[in-house]
Chain A
Amino acid sequence: AQRVTQPEKLLSVFKGAPVELKCNYSYSGSPELFWYVQYSRQRLQLLLRHISRESIKGFTADLNKGETSFHLKKPFAQEEDSAMYYCALSDLNDYKLSFGAGTTVTVRA
């Protein structure tokens, strides 16, 4: 069974400070990892995926298979980064997504 754990329910940082959201997973095969984000009064949307290895809105995430982690990082948080962030895992065969419980990020001025 696949499982995604986000240990932090709430994360509060000051504008300009670094932010890191933790995500750990358990899965027996080769998963694909994602970060989804939900801004206030908006839909859940894809932020980034590990395969693309892109930086989106200043965020990066590296898949560490040894530690089974996929932490999301941004060196300088902005107020517009305040949102709910979900880590998700997909089986490459059936595309099903398993989500973590989410982390609410608040960036204070």
Chain B
Amino acid sequence: EAEVAQSPRYKITEKSQAVAFWCDPISGHATLYWYRQILGQGPELLVQFQDESVVDDSQLPKDRFSAERLKGVDSTLKIQPAELGDSAMYLCASSNPGTSGYNEQFFGPGTRLTVL
């Protein structure tokens, strides 16, 4: 069964360092999402892609975060420089609402980031 892949699963870094997370969505899914989940809270959308285009990045802290999906397939989320408050789980999800008619999002296992 096809799944969303993410790497790395865990990342420990020092503040002011750069970090990058990778996501490979389910094949054929045009829509890709990056979420941040702080402990004790629900996932919060950071950025949404439709193919290679950004649909919504209104909650992405653009002074330090960037996201790209150059070929409309896999995606990278980068933080530079990392801050202590960035410690969280970063989730990637994909969906194909145009085919299914509704928005069932399929989630990856997440990357747990710890900033020291």
Chain A contact residues, CB within 8 Å of chain B: 4, 9, 32, 34, 43-46, 49, 51, 86, 88, 90, 94-102
Q: Find B40's partner among A44, A49, A101 (CB 8 Å cutoff).
A: A101
Supposing A32-B102, A49-B102, A51-B102 touch, asked if A96 and B45 sit within 8 A by C-beta, the answer is yes
Q: Which residues of A contact B55 (CB under 8 A)?
A: 94
Chain B contact residues, CB within 8 Å of chain A: 3-4, 31, 33, 40-45, 48, 55-56, 91, 93, 95, 97, 102-110
- Give the docked Cα–Cα distance between A94 and B104 (Å): 13
**Minimal beta-carbon separation of A41 from chain B (angstroms):** 9
Q: Are B31 and A95 in contact (CB under 8 A)?
A: yes
In the assembled complex, 11 residue pairs joining A and B whose CB atoms fall closer than 8 Å, in A order, are A9-B40, A34-B103, A43-B108, A46-B105, A86-B43, A97-B33, A97-B103, A98-B45, A99-B43, A101-B41, A101-B42
- Give the docked Cα–Cα distance between A34 and B104 (Å): 9
- Give the docked Cα–Cα distance between A101 and B33 (Å): 18
- Give the docked Cα–Cα distance between A96 and B34 (Å): 11
Q: Are B42 and A90 in contact (CB under 8 A)?
A: no
Q: Which residues of A contact B40 (CB under 8 A)?
A: 9, 101
**Minimal beta-carbon separation of A23 from chain B (angstroms):** 11
Q: Which residues of B contact A44 (CB under 8 A)?
A: 43, 91, 93, 107
**Minimal beta-carbon separation of A31 from chain B (angstroms):** 11
- Give the docked Cα–Cα distance between A94 and B33 (Å): 12
Q: Are A97 and B109 in contact (CB under 8 A)?
A: no
Q: Which residues of A contact B91 (CB under 8 A)?
A: 44
Q: Are B42 and A99 in contact (CB under 8 A)?
A: yes
**Minimal beta-carbon separation of B30 from chain A (angstroms):** 11
Of all chain A residues, the one with the shortest Cβ separation from B42 is A99
- Give the docked Cα–Cα distance between A99 and B31 (Å): 18
- Give the docked Cα–Cα distance between A44 and B107 (Å): 6
Q: Are B95 and A95 in contact (CB under 8 A)?
A: yes
Q: Which residues of B contact A9 (CB under 8 A)?
A: 40
- Give the docked Cα–Cα distance between A4 and B106 (Å): 20
Q: Are A97 and B45 in contact (CB under 8 A)?
A: yes
Of all chain A residues, the one with the shortest Cβ separation from B104 is A46
